[in-house]
Amino acid sequence: MLSTLKQSAYILAKNNLCPRLASKWAFVDAKLSEVKDAGTWKNELMILGKQAPSIKVDGQAKEMLNFCANNYLGLSSHPLVVEAAIEAIKTHGNDAILYPSCFDANAGIFEVLLNDADAVISDELNHASIIDGIRLSKARRLRYAHSDMGHLRRLLEESRDCTTRLVATDGVFSMDGDVAKLAEIAALAKEFNAVTFVDECHSTGFLGRGAAAPRSTAASSSTLGKALGGAAGGYTCGPTSVVSLLRQRSRPYLFSNTLPPAVVGAAIRVFDLLASGETDWPQRLRDNTRRFRGAMQEAGFQVAGDPDCPICPVMLWQERLAKDFAERMQSAGMFVVAFSYPVVPRGKARIRVQLSAGHSAEQIDRVVGEFVRVGRELKVVA
């Protein structure tokens, strides 16, 4: 299984999805030295092949008897299980560390990197996984108004006494469909000698390579379960020293099962396809996004977010109106969902529409037509 993980990490690095840093992360090297000096450094052994009572391990001349596996029933390599995994791949089908989900990836980084002498500065609209991950750390917690670079600057100035300052942000904000001001965040981080962390879950694969986080200054996390077509799986990319420390200390990594080979295999294939440049999926997605946004705005709807972001929040403001609107759309065969408090702030209810490269122009025109019909029924548009 570890061989599969190493392969996937290699693919991430090969496709330039692993940001690299130097001196910015020097404090991590100190933490790694502490682990080594304490005699608790663990070298991961890579199993070359299937889980079995007798296994081949990288660097070992002879096979070893395997007494360190959770494979209690011996089923991980059972022919029927392998057959099912292959079928799942067919139908569903520079360093990085894999987690069962990106929620786990985000929950497992801040506690490891930061202590009570440090500060983490977070956008107020960051995903819940970032918020929960920050809560697990002992660092001083600061929050800046959404995408407000002036406020971020003030917080960086106020936290000058902290040993390490880490700015955390979503690359694309999942409820609002807007893109973080990553170039400005990176510039501020450089000015104040801070480091940055970007969650790329809603941008990986179609907004450039991720949301175009500056490669020289950011560590990032993402998921295999959104644009990459997988059912689960998350990962963190970053400098080798950061990932090495996560392998030693990140609790969601140490105390969880790894990803199924079927999920990892499918993700590797998607990365290869995207890196080849032979697909038009990202452009088709942009075209579909612009078609939907343009038609909806022309009809009189307010659609929030970045023009090229396929997360399209149709703002309805009132909770009951959004619920009624979504139910009428569903009755017409349109699978859309209303979001209201506590998922979004009070008075900012919406229907979040998510476009896909798989949608046809006809399908987009149909959903816009239903929005217009229901909007007129409920007196949202004229």
| Full set of structural domains in the chain with CATH | 40-69+280-378 (3.90.1150.10), 87-275 (3.40.640.10)
Q: And the tokens for 343?
A: 């998922």
Q: List the alpha helices (DSSP H) in 38-109.
A: 79-91, 102-107
Record the pTM: 0.74
pLDDT in tens, the chain (382 residues): 444 444 555 455 545 545 444 566 788 888 888 888 887 777 777 888 877 777 888 888 888 677 666 566 666 677 777 777 777 655 543 688 999 999 999 999 999 999 999 999 999 999 999 999 999 999 999 999 999 999 999 999 999 999 999 999 999 998 999 999 999 999 999 999 999 999 999 988 887 654 444 544 568 999 888 888 766 899 999 888 888 899 999 999 999 888 888 888 888 888 888 888 777 888 888 999 999 999 999 999 999 999 999 999 999 999 999 999 999 999 899 999 999 988 888 899 999 999 888 899 999 999 999 999 999 999 999 8
Question: How far lies 272's CA from each of 85, 268, 279, 338, 367, in Å?
Answer: 20, 6, 11, 35, 33
Name the residues annotated as catalytic.
Answer: 174, 202, 226
Query: What pLDDT, on the 0 to 100 scale, is given for residue 154?
Result: 98
CB 38 within 8 A of CB 126: no
Distant-in-sequence, close-in-space partners of 327: CB < 8 Å, separation ≥ 6: none
- Position 93 scores a pLDDT of 38
- pLDDT value at position 3? 45
Q: What distance in Å separates the CA atoms of residue 39 and residue 252, rounded to the nearest whole number? A: 22
Tokens 């025109």 belong to 365
For 67, other C-beta atoms within 10 Å of its C-beta total 6
pLDDT value, residue 2: 41
Neighbours of 115 (CB within 10 A): 14
CA distance linking residue 238 with residue 221, whole number of Å: 9
For residue 179, give Cα distances in angstroms to 157, 282, 304, 305, 340. Answer: 24, 16, 11, 8, 21
Angle between helices 361-377 and 319-331 (to 10 degrees): 130
